[in-house]
Structures are given as C-alpha cells and as structure tokens.
Amino acid sequence: MITVNENIMQFQLDTAHTSYVMRVKEGFLEHVYWGRRLASGDHTYMRRELGRASFSPRMENCRGPILDDIPLEYPCFGRGDLRSPALEVINPDGSDIADLRYVSHTVSEGKPALAGLPAFYAEKGDNVSTLCIKLRDRVSMLECDLYYSVFYDYDLITRHAELVNRGENALTLEGAASACVDIDRCDFDIVSNYGTHEKERMIERTPLVHGKMEFASRRGSSGHEHNPFIILASRSADEFKGEVYALTLVYSGCHSMSAEGGQYDSCRVLAGINPDGFRWRLGPGETFVTPEAALVHTEDGLGGMSHIFHRAINDRLIRGKYRNSRRPVLLNSWEAVYFRFDEEKLMDIGSCAADLGMEMLVIDDGWFGRRDDDHSSLGDWYINRSKLPNGFDNIHKMLHEKGCGLGIWFEPEMISPDSDLYRAHPDWCLHVAGRPRSEGRHQLMLDLSRPDVCDYIYESVASLLRTGNVDYIKWDFNRNVAEVGSALLPPEKQGEVLHRYYLGLYSVLERLHNDFPDVLFESCSGGGGRYDCGILYYMPQTWTSDNSDAIERLKIQYGTSLIYPLSSMTGHVSASPNHQTGHVTPFDTRFNVALTGSFGYELDPTKLTDEEKRFVTETAAIYKKYGDTLVNGDYYRLRSSYTEDCAAWCVVARDKSVCIAVYVNTHVRVYPRNEHLAIRGLDENARYRDTRSGAEYSGSQLAGYGVPVDKNHEYSSEMWIFEKI
C-alpha cells in the first residue's frame, strides 16, 4: 500500500507489518523511517535537523542543507555528501558531480518488469503496488527514476533505479547502486556469509564499526566468497526475536553490499553492482537499468527474516512448472563415476536408481566432445559416440519406461582452449588483445556480451532439448574472471563487459525458460559459487556445495538458509567415507541432512547393500510424500553447529498441519546431558502424532520441552514427522 501526502511531500509504503517513509525537502529525496508498521499520518517530525555541520559543506552560503547529515534515498557524489555515494558519474565536461532533485512521481498497481533483468514479480490479484520517483540533475540532465514495489502480503519491498541521459552528450556511470538506505543508528551486528569452494556461506556476525564494511565480489559472478546480501541485526536479535534489516540483490554478477557507520552514529547501507571494473557509457537518450534489490525488515529475528525471504522467493521469484512443488528425486553421476562411464554403466546405475524409486538420472560431465577429464571440449556440445554409441536414445527409453527422467550436465558459458569451438573462434572468449589469457580449470570464459556467442549457447542447449531426450539440465560455471575484455566493444565500452555478460546470460536463460517450460534447470558453480536471487529466477535450484559431507553440510546449509529457501538448495546423499573429507557417517544421517533441500543421491546405487537399498526405497517415499511441505513450509533453525555440538531444524507446513524435524549429533560426550529438542512453529493448541513412533504430543509440549534426543552416537541423527491429529 502506497500513500502519498502531497501537502508535505511524504511517501509512505506499507506492508502488512512494516512501513518505509520518505519525503522531499528542498528537492532532495530524504529517508524518514523504516521499521514496524505505522498508521498513516505525518511522520516528517521524525526527520529532526540537528544542524550538525562539523567540517561538512553547507549549501546556499551556509543557509541551506548539510547533505552530509541528511538521510538520502539515492545520494550522489560531488555536492557535499561525503559518505559513500549511490551514484558516481563522469559528466561530459569531466566533472564528477551529480545533484539529483525531485521532479515528479507516479503510483501504479502491480509491478513493472525490469528490462533484461531478473526480478520479483506480482501476479494478478496480488496486493502489490509501485511508486516511481523521478529525480533530475538540472545541469547534466541526467534523470534517475527510483522504483519501489511494495509486496504487502510478503512484507517485502523491492527497489531499483533507472538512469536516463536527457542531455546532449554521453556521460559515464562509474557506480549506480540499486538501493541506499540511511538508518539513523549504527549499533548493529552485521551478519554476512563468507566462504570458498566447498565451504560456502559460512555465517559471521560482527559489530558494525564506524567505517565501511563491504561484502563484495569482483569474480565475474556472485561468487563463493561473499553472498550478495547484507543483514543488520540489533545486538540483542537472535533467531526468534529482535529487529533485523536485510537487503539482497537479484543479480548474479559482481556485487557490492556495504554498511558504513558514520560520524554521527548513523549507518548507510548500499547494495548494487560492484563499481570496481564497472564503467557504463550512457549516450543521449539511453537508459541504464540497475539490478533489483529486495528489502526486508522484521522484529522476529533472523528466523523471521528468513521466513519472509523464503516465502517471497518460493512464490514470487521462482517461476515455472517447479515453483512451489517438490523436485524429482535424482541420481547424479558425478561422485558415482566421475568421467569413468560408458552406456552400459549408465544403463546399470540408471536402471538400479529407477528400481529404488528415484525419478531422474543426471549424467554429470563427460558425455560430450572428447571429454575424459577437465582439460578439453567445453564448447563442443555434441555427444561422444565412443562412450555413448546410441546417444541418449537407449538410456532415455529405458529410464522413461521405468518412469524416470534423464538429465545432463552443461557448462555453456565456458570454452576449452582444446576444443573445436576455440579453434574456430579464438576471439569468442573474454580477453584483452596483446595480453595472455589466464585459464581456470583449463578453461576460458565465453564472451556473453556478444549476441553471436549467446545464440551459439542457446542453440547448443536447445538442439539437445529439442530431441525430447532431456528432462533436466545442470548448468555449471567453473571459474572466475581475469583479463575481462570483448573483441566486439570499442575501448570506451570495455567497462560494460561484465554487466553485458549477465544481460547476455539472462537473455539466453529467458529464451530457454520460455521455449522449454517443462525442463528443470539446476544452477551450479563449483557447487554454490553463483547462488543468488538472480539465477533462481531462471533456475529454481542450485547445487549447494561440492562438499557433500553431511556434517560439513550442516554449516553450509544453515548459512545458505538465511536468505534462500530449502526448495532452492540441492542436497544429495553421497558415499561414505565421504569423497571430500573422509568422514564416515551413518546412512540415515546423510539422508536426514540431504533432505533439507531438493533431494537426491550422488553415489553408485549398484554398490549399496540390500539394507541400504531398502532404506533408499523407503526414504524416497518419504520425500515424495512430504516434498511439497519441505518446499513451501516455514523453516526454523533450532540448533546451530556453529555454536553447539549438534544441529537441528524443522519445517512446518504453512497451515501447521505437518512438521518435519531433524536433530544431528556432531559430538559425543562421556556423560551426555539430558538432551531434548523444542520444536517451533506448531499450533500450540493442537495435538500432533509422530508418524514414525506413533507417540502423541500436544503442540505446547512440543514447543515447551520438545522431544527427547539420543546423544550417544557420533554423527547420529533423528527425524520426526509430526502430523496434526
């Protein structure tokens, strides 16, 4: 709901539980308030002017505003706001000043799409409306349209900016954030994710300092290192209560998410494309659209924040056939056979998987070109007939007869120097003439800023999908950037390459999404190196990590769940000892942990014992029965292996009729305490039956004391499925 009071030039955006308020004063768009829901009214008294000038410049001969002390919605460099700017411009005269002042505004129902970019969407009948505020620099004639879409029922606000050059000469954008929020306090903890390959999205919680804390990627993707979100939590906020502000970016490229504690104990939060390496030449009449940022405020702690993001991502970001529904139980061949397979082996493991109740065989890598290891063939997307003489025909036929689908791995954005494609098109990769081309995993990145390259990628994937033999694609991306340059762009546009790369990638993915609506896409980047809301718009799930060890996954999945719903996290039961760590873990623990997500196996099923096979069949049935609850339910982090010798969580159906809870013991002690696990999110006035043991409990017993837990075995785990009676 959006209320504009034109008498006082105040804009009030209301969701079910929050309000976000701005006003215009002396032409500047000021931030007034963001927090718990306000009744409509005049809130401008909240913007007290304290006249703090320090050494900061003051406009209009010291009678005007002190920009350095005003909370601004889209601050610019050059006129006296000396904090980090949202907008940095080089004007045609070489100056770097921007001075954006209010021009007009419009309010509309629903939400417009962002040209060429992924974004949250509204459906017919949704309580969603959009405010657009136009600002203009009257000297350069650069216009800035700030968009705010209010998803009332989801407690979510999305923002982005569109910059239009109305002047007569080209100017250059050196930074254009998606959102800025100036908050008038800085006594927060910053909660962020850090990580690397096989150790993604570790949680770190640190007090915000006076100074800038930035979580960024210059990797050519959102990256393993810092996920594109920033959370500001009140010092006392925990999982279940306390004030939390969070911003995430709907973008897969280089990002910068920062919080800056200021001289007057306020805080500026910026979210957007990373300005390092970004320069966008904006010709007369041209528009630059920033990616979208999604903003959440809650008083229900980090768990409450996650519930908001999870519901919004599940319902209004993910699209297509698999939105809100469980994904097929799959067998991925990577850790089962790596590059060592032929048709007979695939038929064996595929047929065994189908007999055990699995629903998809994914041939991961090695099926194309001359690919027997990772040194060659990326780009040569034709089937290797010496391994698969009948192509996918026989495998697909056998699987379909058993009610199972076929998936294949692709890495379409890459090119191996040892490939027919590279020999034919050596200029199709990102490179800078006259400089060496650095390889990562023996491969270069294709230049997706080029339309011809995008067409090639589309056609490579589409031609295989058109055969009707492929039901699923795992889309991988296995290196970060160096020597970014495009052979097609002139020197003054080379700073645009990485963003154009993502516009190209998104255009390919959009075409595939529209042309092959029944195909399930999974994204991957050495596991979870490109796990973001941008990619989830096109592919509803991401391979969470190449680390498939159930115990290591506890922290990875816990960190990932801060923003991303279980439906988007792929979890596989892999072999024991685990291939990455050597941990020996019971089968049921591997299953219980993998079930926290879109579920499958990553082992050779023909090598399982009879008992394990029985377990696989039974558990596949559990996933099929409760998969929709796991996808759409509210996820509660109950115990954290970051701070305790255990991990526990539960997923509760939105109508509270079912709850799946898991406890994993990560450490055995000589005299274990009397451990019990309290469950959150249930109807405390109802009664529940544990469908596995038959025990009955009241909702209040489960919430108050919970269920007793066995602490006697290392890496043991328990799962309970409570159904309302």
The answer to whether the peptide bond before residue 577 is cis (omega within 30 degrees of 0) is yes
Shortest spacing between CB 469 and ligand DGJ, in angstroms: 20
Burial letters for 669-699: b for 16+ Cβ neighbours within 10 Å, e otherwise?
eeeeeebebbbbbbbeebbbebbeeeeebbb
Nearest to 650 by CA among 707, 577, 711: 707
Question: Where on the chain is the footprint of ligand DGJ (CB under 6 A)?
Answer: 334, 364-365, 409, 476, 478, 524, 526-527, 543, 546
Question: How many Å apart are CA 725 and CA 659, to the nearest integer?
Answer: 12
CA distances from 104 to 6, 67, 143, 149, 287 (A): 11, 21, 11, 17, 18
User: Within the chain, what is the greatest distance between any pair of CA atoms?
Assistant: 85
Residue (73 or 364) nearer to ligand DGJ, CB: 364
Residue (175 or 328) nearer to ligand DGJ, CB: 328
Shortest spacing between CB 377 and ligand DGJ, in angstroms: 11
Which amino acid would we find at residue 387?
A: K
Shortest spacing between CB 362 and ligand DGJ, in angstroms: 9
Q: Which helix (H) or strand (E) holds 592?
A: helix 587-594
Residue (197 or 323) nearer to ligand DGJ, CB: 197
Residue (28 or 543) nearer to ligand DGJ, CB: 543
Shortest spacing between CB 309 and ligand DGJ, in angstroms: 24
Shortest spacing between CB 592 and ligand DGJ, in angstroms: 21
Shortest spacing between CB 458 and ligand DGJ, in angstroms: 21
Residue (246 or 331) nearer to ligand DGJ, CB: 331
Residue (11 or 409) nearer to ligand DGJ, CB: 409
Shortest spacing between CB 461 and ligand DGJ, in angstroms: 16
Residue (11 or 477) nearer to ligand DGJ, CB: 477
Backbone angles phi, psi at 174, to 5 degrees: -105, -5
Residue (292 or 549) nearer to ligand DGJ, CB: 549
Computed from CA positions of residues 375, 376, 379, 383, in that sequence, does the dihedral angle turn out positive or negative? negative
Q: Are 427 and 471 in contact (CB under 8 A)?
A: no
- 497: three-class secondary structure by DSSP: helix
Q: Which tokens go with 241?
A: 């209560």
Listed in sequence order, the residues at least 6 apart from 13 whose beta carbon sits closer than 8 Å to its beta carbon are 1, 2, 19, 20, 21, 131, 148, 150, 157
Catalytic residue positions? 476, 546
Residue (179 or 446) nearer to ligand DGJ, CB: 446
Question: How many Å apart are CA 8 and CA 24, to the nearest integer?
Answer: 8
Shortest spacing between CB 611 and ligand DGJ, in angstroms: 28
Shortest spacing between CB 336 and ligand DGJ, in angstroms: 12
User: Counting Cβ atoms within 10 Å, is residue 611 exposed (0-12), middle (13-18) or buried (19+)?
Assistant: exposed
Question: How many Å apart are CA 165 and CA 167, to the nearest integer?
Answer: 5
Nearest to 173 by CA among 100, 274, 88, 276: 88
Residue (71 or 526) nearer to ligand DGJ, CB: 526
Question: How many Å apart are CA 673 and CA 492, to the nearest integer?
Answer: 66
Q: Are 476 and 525 in contact (CB under 8 A)?
A: yes
State which residue has the least CB distance to ligand DGJ: 365
Q: Are 524 and 411 in contact (CB under 8 A)?
A: no
Question: How many Å apart are CA 478 and CA 290, to the nearest integer?
Answer: 26
Nearest to 476 by CA among 521, 546, 523: 523
Q: Which tokens go with 631?
A: 């996808």
Return the DSSP state at 491: G
Reduced DSSP (H G I as helix, E B as strand, rest coil) percent helix, strand, coil of the chain, to 5: 20, 35, 45
User: Counting Cβ atoms within 10 Å, is residue 163 exposed (0-12), middle (13-18) or buried (19+)?
Assistant: buried
Give the end-to-end CA distance of the chain in Å, rounded to a whole number: 38
